[in-house]
Structure 1
Amino acid sequence: MVGKALETLFIKVWVIVKLNLFFWLFSCCGLIVAGVGPALKTVNELFVSHEFNYKEITLKDGWNTFKKNFVRGNLLFYGLGLLLSILAYNLFLSVQIQGMAFLMIDFLLVFAMIYGIVTYQYTLLLDSYYEIGLKNLLKLAFISTLSNFTNLLKIAIGVSLIVFITWKFKGLILFGTVSMIQIWSFTATKSWRQTIDQRLELHA
């Protein structure tokens, strides 16, 4: 019993490490600037497709997925980057001014940044599950974050905790941080994806 539990643990750790190394490899293939977005999408899609079946997560499959996701991955990633840049600049301006009204604005801007990151995680997951146009993907991701506030909190808190642990253990940047965020987002949104599937079956 203990041996089986240890084997399961090692498999999960290996999948986390493997996916994270794939992320950095594919990011470098895109010279970082054009590689991070598609690499994130590739890691997400590989896990959605195979979960902890480590033998099915291959470099060849990953490379083909990376090439397929190159344009869309960059569009989603830099769309998020533009949104966060605008919000961060406004937050920088807002914190320069004192007053209760501007404190409320600061809070709203921070929440909007968190909301943007969570919505981005939803776009990666939903795009891995369904064949859907970009416009409808963004709509579905937006609706998903609004439909279940608990899942939004789960993702936000989970990502924050992973980033905090990474701050304490820098080696995770290479071996685990990115893949753990993707896997946590997958786990936290499982109930909502099941709800979507049920509604699709009803309208089929």
Structure 2
Amino acid sequence: MIGKALETLFIKIWVIVKLNLFFWLFSCCGLIVAGVGPALKTVNDLFVSHEFNYKDITLKEGWHYFKQNFVRGNLLFYGTVLLLAALAYNLFLSVQIQGLLFLAIDFLLVFAMIYGLVTFQYGLLLDSYYEIGLKNLLKLAFISTLSNFMNLLKIAIGVSLILFITWKFKGLILFGTFSMMQIWSYTATKAWRQTIDQRLGLHA
């Protein structure tokens, strides 16, 4: 029993490490600037396809996904970056001004940034899970984030915790941070994806 549990634990750790190394490899293939978005989406595609079946997660399949995801991944990633940059700039301006109204605006802008990040995570996952056009993907991601506030909190808190642990243990940046964020988001949204499947008639 203990041996089986340890084997399962080591397999999960290896999948996390393997996917995170793939993330860095494919990010470098895109010279970082054009590689991060497609690499994140590739990590999602591989995990959605194989979960913790580590033998099926191959570099060859990852490279195929990376090339396929190059345009869509960059559109999703840089669309989110531009949105967050605009919100962050407005937050910077808002915190310079005293007053209860501007304090409320500060909180609203912070929530909007969290909401944007969670919507991005939903977008990556749903795009890996369904064959869907970009416009409909953005609509579905937006609706999904609104559909369940607890899911939004779970993703936000989980990602924040991963980043906090990474801040304490910097080696995770190379070996686990990005894959853990994607795997956590996949796990946290499982119930919602099942609901979508039922509404689409994909499961009886």
TM range (shorter): over 0.9
Match of 1:155 in 2: 155
Question: Which letter does structure 2 place at the counterpart of 1:41?
Answer: K
Match of 2:110 in 1: 110
Match of 1:91 in 2: 91
Question: Which letter does structure 1 place at the counterpart of 2:2?
Answer: V
Question: Which letter does structure 1 place at the counterpart of 2:8?
Answer: T
CA distance in 1, matches of 2:56, 2:182: 18
Match of 1:27 in 2: 27
Q: CA deviation at 1:5?
A: 0.4
CA distance in 2, matches of 1:75, 1:150: 27
CA distance in 1, matches of 2:128, 2:23: 16
Q: CA deviation at 1:196?
A: 0.3
Match of 2:65 in 1: 65
Match of 1:188 in 2: 188
Q: Do structure 1's residue 172 and structure 2's residue 172 form an aligned pair? A: yes
Instruction: Count the aligned residue pairs.
Output: 204
Alignment of 1:113-152 (within 5 A): 113-152=113-152
SS of 1:69 mapped into structure 2: helix
CA distance in 2, matches of 1:96, 1:151: 32
Moved over 4 A (4+): none
- Structural RMSD (CA): 1.2
Match of 2:51 in 1: 51
Instruction: Tell me the percent identity.
Output: 88
Q: CA deviation at 1:71?
A: 0.3
CA distance in 2, matches of 1:83, 1:129: 24
CA distance in 2, matches of 1:200, 1:65: 25
Q: CA deviation at 1:177?
A: 0.2
Q: CA deviation at 1:79?
A: 0.1
Q: CA deviation at 1:81?
A: 0.3
Deviations 1:78-132, CA, capped at 9 Å, x for gaps: 0000000000000000000010000000000000000000000000010011100
SS of 1:160 mapped into structure 2: helix
- What TM-score comes out, normalization by structure 2 length? 0.99
CA distance in 1, matches of 2:195, 2:180: 24
What 5-or-longer segments of structure 1 have no aligned partner? none
